[in-house]
Structure 1
Amino acid sequence: MNLELNNPALLDPEIVGNHTPDPLRFAFAKKKGPHAGGMAKPVPTELTQSALTNASSEQGNKGPRCLYIHIPFCRVRCTYCNFFQYASSTKLIDEYFEALKKELLWKAAMPWTQAFPFRAVYIGGGTPTDLSAKQIKQLGEMIRSHFPLTPDCEITLEGRINRFDDQKFESALEGGINRFSFGVQSFDTKVRRSAKRLNDGEEVLERLQHFVSYDSAPIVIDLLYGLPHQTLDTWASDLELYLESGAHGVDLYQLIEMQNLPMERLVEQGKLPEPANTQVKASMYQMGVEFMAKHHQRRLSVNHWSSDNRERSIYNSLAKTSAQVMPLGAGAGGNVNGISSMQYRDMDKYIEAGKADEFAAGMAFYSAPNNSLVNTIKAAFDRGVLSERVLPQGMFLALKPLFDAWQKNGLVNLSSGYLSLTLAGQFWSVTLAQNLIQVVSNQQNPNSLLKPNNNNIDKKSIKAA
């Protein structure tokens, strides 16, 4: 395979980065997006239902499978969030939950669903913890009753500490939820308030410690760096408080573009200070990596760590990379048997589709012919190392001009058939993965009309992975 990487156009700074003494902070101007994606061809609107029906009617391959369930409600909209759909209200949630149960039963009976077991389930949003205790328990029980699951299937409930009381927590456990992910973002009350987080940091810490004390399921948290009012000192404190919380794992995510988000408007109006620039966020990332190493936290990916063997982060590692994901709920995204889809965000359209026994897909795409290769690249860069053995024969060598340029620019190290990311490369991992996918896809499909596809959307698509 000749990738013609001697072509100077393929080795410009947009692809290989800038040659700088400080690649961590200056290799690229900014991240290209929250997740790397391949190329896909849109399914014509009139063929969407038949394409999804055919995909769900076949058993497909045995590869890893996940289930994503979207709960599109929040009590308030965080200033950095682009996923806000509906304000939480009992009436709306009850109506939605009935439609969700109908879709769950419908899709659970499909041949594709029953062919092989699911390795992970993620109930995301929105704020799934805004469901009632009864609904949380019922949802967990329905998942376990109607979907084939591996014996060690990870079932995660995402949410907030806010109004997630002991009754809800215990109901979730009774329903079979075996992992909890809380979006803490910061323990600093001033930072939290500016982002429209509802609880003081001290209360968040106390509740986390309380849930950990049950010793019944792993408790993991998200910390977000680069927020307004967040200094290097407050970030250092956030890292320390992660340890103090006793949480079993932590994701460190950087704030990305604020375009068209409430935070952007508040900054323009002078009501919030500018969030951190790329260089400061790079320093925060470095602090996080060094902190985790100092305290012997086990690294699971370029941005996720665990404090013990209880936390596995199965859904995040699979859904962002190689797994097929069945989507349930308004606003959910997934991919089944070569067809990726994004479901209606509009609740009325979602409910009407369910009543008509139709897929609630607002858009769908055919996976690219090189989808397996794209998934391999995404998985490798999420782990921080690409092996020659996982690529088609000869490809690693063909890509060596690109890899050499990355190594020269301080982003990777090449040794014995392995491309390992440096600290700078880890910070820019999504950008590097996207660039490699672009190079490979362009060479394999030089006249392709395919479009970039980022529709394998998981809960973290507002943040850099």
Structure 2
Amino acid sequence: MPEVVAQPLSQTVPSSPARPARPHAPDVDLRLGAFALEEPKASGAERSDAEALRGTDAAEALEMLLDRTRRGPTVAEVHVPFCETKCEGCGCWQNEYRQLESSRYADAVVKEMAVWSGTHAQSGAPVQALRIGGGNPTALEAVDILRILSNARRLLPLANDCEVVMEARVHHFTEEKMEAALAGGVTRFEFPVRSFNTAVRRAVGRVEEGFEAARLLERLAQYDEAGVAVELNYGLPGQSLDVWESDLRTASSLPLDGLTLRAAGEPDFPGARLKTERAAGAELLAESHRRACGLLAGEGWDRRTSVRWGRTERDRSLFEALALGDADRLVFGSGAQGRLFGWTYRIEGALEAWYSAVWMGRRAVAEVSRPEPAWRAATLLVRGVFEGRFSVKAVERRSGLVLAPVLEPLIAQWRAAGLVTGGADWVRLTDAGCFHHARLERAAYDCVNARAAQLLELPAPALRRRGAFPIMAADAWRAVEAGCGMLAPKAVSAS
């Protein structure tokens, strides 16, 4: 049996001749052969604490950034740091939710947006996508959900076709809250359902039974005013292959627009904290992913990114794609993490300290970090790997850096291991590549940043004149038409 090339592809590789690709045996699952199957780690996107500016230095750095005008792609997020219950494996839990907290938090978020609204950075280019996330935004009362959304439209320069995404939980998401979100302009709901099996849901801390989750999704879809998407996880405690297939078939039977598949324990974003509920071994994870790819293709789903499948044009998930790339990210709410011009910043995570700063009219920034030297190229590559396809040439043009000499050995390893296909212009992830997308994202990010000092800048393109096209004389134009047979033959006189 031909040997499958197995290398630790998450490591930065030196610039050396790549091994030629070897043929793969059809019965070898490349999801298992490509890596040593170490536990996934957070991406290098997180900076060390020693490099972060805090206190007065952070405030001064942020003011400098806010005084610059945004011109590129931008997303915005309102972070709601509350949950009524803490799910097993959750890496983002911050505060226990109490009903009286809803109006207090909504008031403060609106105040914070107003405090930032006079800056050049906030009033620059249109915002293409707005996300209300957390935490659990749907824990808020209906009136406060609507108030946050309506003030976001008033205070942020949202584009005409802005995608407005709301993270939603099944627990206590009443019809009143649904209607408030729709009235506020939500265009897409995301539900981290995890599983429709009640026993598995209970094992990971979900409250409602599986049939209740399915019934709520059906009810929300009946409004027919926004896309509805769910996230399912494979490798959860007690989740056999039969249960996993049942989850996929249940999702396919519902009127859903989008479906995200993630391995249990996988972070939602590179650099995010890892979840801890992974129970399955490597073989079960790989087989679960293989079955999902086969089953969903037969149920009318199309792969949209390395983890997301779509069934209608309503589900586009613009926020996620832009946020992973080089887009600026305006954020509001305690604990939110944003980015401006490559600099990353974090809003105060201690709730009472955040409240105090906001009501005093100050920008409650906890820390600011300088950008990596090649941050734009690295984040664009992460976005491309996440989307399942990328062009090194396109990333070079946008980042202004020559990347091919650095990336070619790494991509050659990926190709030899059966994780990607394609030529020099476009590289596409295979099913096995999609299974390992988090490791590939980290490898691409680390590879570019580790060699940043060696990257050359692209020469400035020659300026092109943009003069008007010359107008062709009437007689010359008629000659062209006649030569093309566009003119009818002249009538022959009777004489």
- Shorter chain as denominator, the TM-score bin is 0.7 to 0.9
- Does the C-alpha gap of structure 1 residues 399 and 180 become closer, same or farther in structure 2, counting only changes over 3 Å? closer
Classify the secondary structure of the residue corresponding to 1:90.
coil
**1:331 corresponds to which of 335, 347, 357:** 335
Classify the secondary structure of the residue corresponding to 1:317.
helix
Q: Report the alpha carbon displacement of residue 36 of structure 1 after superposing the two structures with TM.
A: 6.3
Tell me how large the CA RMSD over aligned residues is: 2.6
The alignment's TM-score, normalised by the length of structure 1, stands at 0.85
- Assess if the C-alpha contact under 8 Å between 1:71 and 1:123 holds in 2: yes
Matches within 5 A, 1:177-196: 177-196=186-205
**2:31 corresponds to which of 17, 21, 24:** 24
For 2:325, give the aligned amino acid.
T
The alignment's TM-score, normalised by the length of structure 2, stands at 0.80
Matches within 5 A, 1:25-174: 25-28=32-35, 29-33=37-41, 37=45, 41-60=51-70, 62-174=71-183
How many percent identity over aligned positions? 27
Classify the secondary structure of the residue corresponding to 1:236.
helix
Q: Report the alpha carbon displacement of residue 443 of structure 1 after superposing the two structures with TM.
A: 1.8
Classify the secondary structure of the residue corresponding to 1:59.
coil
1:352 aligns with 2:356: yes
Q: Report the alpha carbon displacement of residue 397 of structure 1 after superposing the two structures with TM.
A: 4.8
Which segment is superposed worse, 333-342 or 76-85?
Answer: 333-342
For 1:310, give the aligned amino acid.
R
More strand by share: 1
Aligned positions, number: 425
**1:305 corresponds to which of 297, 306, 309:** 309
Q: Which residue of 2 aligns with 1:229?
A: 238
Distance 1:339 1:346 in 2: 22
Classify the secondary structure of the residue corresponding to 1:63.
coil
- Does the C-alpha gap of structure 1 residues 257 and 323 become closer, same or farther in structure 2, counting only changes over 3 Å? closer
For 2:333, give the aligned amino acid.
G
- Does the C-alpha gap of structure 1 residues 390 and 294 become closer, same or farther in structure 2, counting only changes over 3 Å? same
Distance 2:142 2:47 in 1: 41
1:15 aligns with 2:7: no
Distance 2:308 2:417 in 1: 25
Q: Of the two structures, which has the highest relative contact order with CA contacts closer than 8 Å and spacing of 6 or more?
A: 1
- Does the C-alpha gap of structure 1 residues 232 and 133 become closer, same or farther in structure 2, counting only changes over 3 Å? same
- Please give the per-residue CA displacement for 1:312-343, whole angstroms capped at 9, x wherever unaligned: 11111111223211111011111012321122
- Please give the per-residue CA displacement for 1:393-433, whole angstroms capped at 9, x wherever unaligned: 75325532222222222222242533222222111122122
- Assess if the C-alpha contact under 8 Å between 2:265 and 2:275 holds in 1: no
Classify the secondary structure of the residue corresponding to 1:112.
coil
Extract unaligned runs of 5+ from structure 2.
1-6, 14-21, 268-272, 455-495
- Assess if the C-alpha contact under 8 Å between 2:40 and 2:266 holds in 1: no
- Does the C-alpha gap of structure 1 residues 300 and 108 become closer, same or farther in structure 2, counting only changes over 3 Å? farther
1:422 aligns with 2:430: yes
Distance 2:275 2:126 in 1: 40
Distance 2:59 2:237 in 1: 44
For 1:346, give the aligned amino acid.
A
For 1:15, give the aligned amino acid.
Q
Q: Report the alpha carbon displacement of residue 44 of structure 1 after superposing the two structures with TM.
A: 5.0
Q: Which residue of 1 aligns with 2:229?
A: 220
- Assess if the C-alpha contact under 8 Å between 1:36 and 1:430 holds in 2: no
Distance 2:293 2:156 in 1: 38
Q: Bigger radius of gyration, 1 or 2?
A: 2
Classify the secondary structure of the residue corresponding to 2:305.
coil
- Please give the per-residue CA displacement for 1:26-62, whole angstroms capped at 9, x wherever unaligned: 42223533656376853354310011111112103x2
Distance 1:414 1:383 in 2: 15
For 2:450, give the aligned amino acid.
N
